[in-house]
Structure 1
Amino acid sequence: MIQSGQMGGPNSERQRNPTREFGRLRYCGSGYRVLVICNDGAYFLRHRLSVVTHLASLGVDVTVIAGGDPIRAESIQGWNYIHVPIERFRFDPFGDARLMLRTARTIRAFKPHAVHLVTLKPAIFSGFVSIVSHFLHAYPEQVLITLPGLGRMMSPKAPGQRRYPIASALTLLAFRVLSRRDYVHFTFETRHDREFWKGRGIANEKNSSLIEGAGVDPNLFYPLENARSGSTTKVLFASRLLKSKGLSTFLTVAHELAHRSDVEFIVAGIPDDHDPDAIPHRDLEQMTEIRFLGHVTDMPNLLRQCDIVCLPTRYGEGIPRILIEAAATGLASIASDHPGCREAVEDGVTGQILSAKSDTEMRRELSAAIVGYLENPDLLKKHKRAANQHFLSRPFNQPAIADRFTELLGVLAAPWSD
């Protein structure tokens, strides 16, 4: 079902890009068509909506295909939407075939100039359909693949973690096929991820770009003018409610420090009990050592009420958005020694990086870092002040990042309006 508009775009003669350098030509927005495919609607709204909104403001005709829970009609403004069920946690022959069929039908009807594939499954299955359509019909002219981290399938595994040898091999094979096309381009969030795919013969300097995250809007995420009053230090975990994101570690530390009256532990995140790695939200609701908020729509306000953000993650992600939001809002961060975390947190300056390799060490280091801030409030204040300066000095600004994606999709970017 398509909401917010009809399929297709203005009747205009297709312009062929005479060069083979990805994104070289810049089209004006009117008559240009972009198809975006993402595995999860909630992820799309939180991380990728700004790009689609910017494209639509330039007159680009945008259609979005997304899995997960259906996107509500009030969130769809200026772009078309198609909901397709996508199994995010495993290969599903029937579901994956359905995604390919929907992609093929949409490309045939919509005739997009560019296709933007976000996350692994769309990259593999919709990517294959896109290159077949390009060969048969000459559209899409460009395929942009965004991989925001390695994910649980491709990331190196710690002892005891589940491995996916067959799925990983098929993924590498699919990406090798895609990477041989000069109209296919990849974007990565960290140098580490780019080097990972380079080492496997998929990414190179010509067919890939480094874009540091999805960006944060500084007009929404900014520090309080006056320091927050109160004797209780508020420590926040705000992410997907997964064990691999470090939630179980955070909960253990919260339990260990529950006897202290000078600290409050808060958990926020969208419940996703279908994920085999998730901690059920009903269990979180019953825990007395934390304040569980569930899904929070006003993240800027929540962050401005807190002092520290914790993310002891082992998940194969890019640059965690919550760490960028924390820096923009002037919060200290405690995070694991993960490539994406190191991009957002400057160890000993804006927060602390945990070097632990085991779960036991991670719990010990996280507890020590929190207690260190509790017993040295001046250090906490110093790191909070430095965090916002770190954000301002890095390319984490959402409008600038949206412009970069817009240009890679072949559209002439225009200045953002305030």
Structure 2
Amino acid sequence: MDKTILIISNVTNGLYMFRRELLERLVKMYNVEILAGDTGRVDVLETMGCHVTITEIERHGTNPIKELQLIRYYKKKIKEIKPKVVLTYTVKPNIYGGMACACLGVPYVANITGLGTAIEQPGKLQKPLLFLLKRGFRKAQKVFFQNSENMNFLLKHRVISGAYELIPGSGVNLERFPLLDYPQSDTLDFVFISRIMKEKGIDQYIDAAKVIRQKYPNTRFHICGDAGTAYKELLEQMQKDGIVIYHGKISDVPKMHKVSACTIHPTYYPEGMSNVLLESCACGRPIITTDRPGCREIVDDGINGFIVKQQDSQDLIEKIEKFISLSWDERKQMGLAGRAKVEHEFDRRIVVNKYLEEIKRAGL
């Protein structure tokens, strides 16, 4: 098949988790090649019909020699694969994959899945990274943004000179994350689902769990995600002390939502659009999250959840207490409002169709 599409990303698991529906459509019509770091699901991607080439990417590395080697590698692979169009995701593939495509005259579509602290916050790395992004996007057929703040930030810094469009994040598959019955239980279960890292607000969640559990013994605080070495010992001890229930990394997220009454996502990490919140809303669960890009777009304060201040444990405690004070029916209605919102604004089919339009524009 001479109709080849190349996808460049830093991780394989993210492609499966959040681009699966697009890949399923593409493999029916095109030869799909993937260059990405191995974070799991490679065998599943291959079974779907994609051909995966593992590419080692230092996501936070700044060694200029290695960065140049990555550009050369992308150019070499693009020459070998001869794609008709390239789709890039995440910062380094956007920059260096974009540069390689621009040099070789290959159409490419970039997706801003989040900018990262080094770009968003003033510092010694901000200017050089903005320059590199500008070089990476200079000949892009289209740049997709997942939230308006990222879009306005890059427009303000004159990084984008060509076509761009705001899309609803990665969207959510409304069939894989169906509306679930709202739990009726003697306990009120809250859940944190994320990589366990400081910037995702785990410290604020733990602070809140300590206070709320003591004051409201019928509450439960679940934590789902890979803790690594930084938090694993702490979470295991807190579980022994009866403060949290630590599940580790889970594969069946809807199963967790069946027992949860509310998802708490107190992140201050640079999000593109929070998939945790989209999936929670799709399952009919109220959300409590921070007032920051990638989160505020999903929550209508007081309607389908509550907004909290970033890195503010006390505000989180107060919002959880406000949620506890609601009746069962009021909590259920919040969940239904969230489901209606994602059905209207964040259906993943919207994102898939946007990509199919761009691929068609590229001549496929």
Aligned counterparts of 1:330 and 1:339: Cα–Cα separation in 2: 22
The structural deviation recorded for 1:401 is: 1.3
Amino acid aligned to 1:328:
A
**Partner residue of 1:153 out of 89, 110, 118:** 118
After TM superposition, the structure 1 = structure 2 runs for residues 79-98 of structure 1, keeping only pairs within 5 Å, are 79-98=50-69
Match of 2:177 in 1: 221
Aligned counterparts of 1:335 and 1:112: Cα–Cα separation in 2: 40
Whether contact under 8 Å (2:84, 2:362) holds in the other structure is no
SS of aligned partner of 2:178: coil
The structural deviation recorded for 1:50 is: 2.5
SS of aligned partner of 1:177: helix
Match of 1:53 in 2: 24
Identical-residue share of aligned pairs (%)? 23
Does residue 99 in structure 1 map to residue 70 in structure 2? Answer: yes
Q: Which runs of 5+ in 1 are unaligned?
A: 1-9, 11-30, 135-139, 157-162, 274-278, 414-418
Whether contact under 8 Å (2:182, 2:261) holds in the other structure is no
**Partner residue of 2:37 out of 58, 63, 67:** 67
Whether contact under 8 Å (1:124, 1:171) holds in the other structure is no
Whether contact under 8 Å (2:197, 2:227) holds in the other structure is no
Whether contact under 8 Å (1:178, 1:184) holds in the other structure is no
Match of 1:21 in 2: none
The structural deviation recorded for 1:102 is: 2.7
Whether contact under 8 Å (2:95, 2:137) holds in the other structure is no
The structural deviation recorded for 1:49 is: 2.8
Shift in alpha-carbon separation, 1:106–1:70, aligned structure 2, 3 A:
farther
Does residue 42 in structure 1 map to residue 13 in structure 2? Answer: yes
Q: 1:266-293, CA deviations, whole angstroms, 9 ceiling, x for partnerless residues?
A: 11123455xxxxx433432332211111
Does residue 254 in structure 1 map to residue 204 in structure 2? Answer: no
Q: Which runs of 5+ in 2 are unaligned?
A: none
SS of aligned partner of 1:280: helix
Q: 1:30-54, CA deviations, whole angstroms, 9 ceiling, x for partnerless residues?
A: x321111111222222222322222
The structural deviation recorded for 1:151 is: 1.7
Aligned counterparts of 2:62 and 2:305: Cα–Cα separation in 1: 38
Aligned counterparts of 1:374 and 1:392: Cα–Cα separation in 2: 26
TM-score (norm 1): 0.80
After TM superposition, the structure 1 = structure 2 runs for residues 2-401 of structure 1, keeping only pairs within 5 Å, are 10=1, 31-57=2-28, 59-76=29-46, 77-134=48-105, 140=106, 142-156=107-121, 165-181=123-139, 183-203=140-160, 207-224=163-180, 226-259=181-214, 260-272=216-228, 279-288=230-239, 289-354=243-308, 356=309, 359=311, 362-377=312-327, 378-394=329-345, 396-401=346-351
**Structure with greater proportional helix content:** 2
Aligned CA RMSD, in angstroms, stands at: 2.2
SS of aligned partner of 1:341: coil
The structural deviation recorded for 1:81 is: 0.1
Equivalent pairs, count: 358
Amino acid aligned to 1:102:
Y
The structural deviation recorded for 1:411 is: 6.6
Amino acid aligned to 1:47:
F
Match of 1:405 in 2: 355
SS of aligned partner of 2:360: coil
Aligned counterparts of 1:132 and 1:168: Cα–Cα separation in 2: 24
Amino acid aligned to 2:245:
R
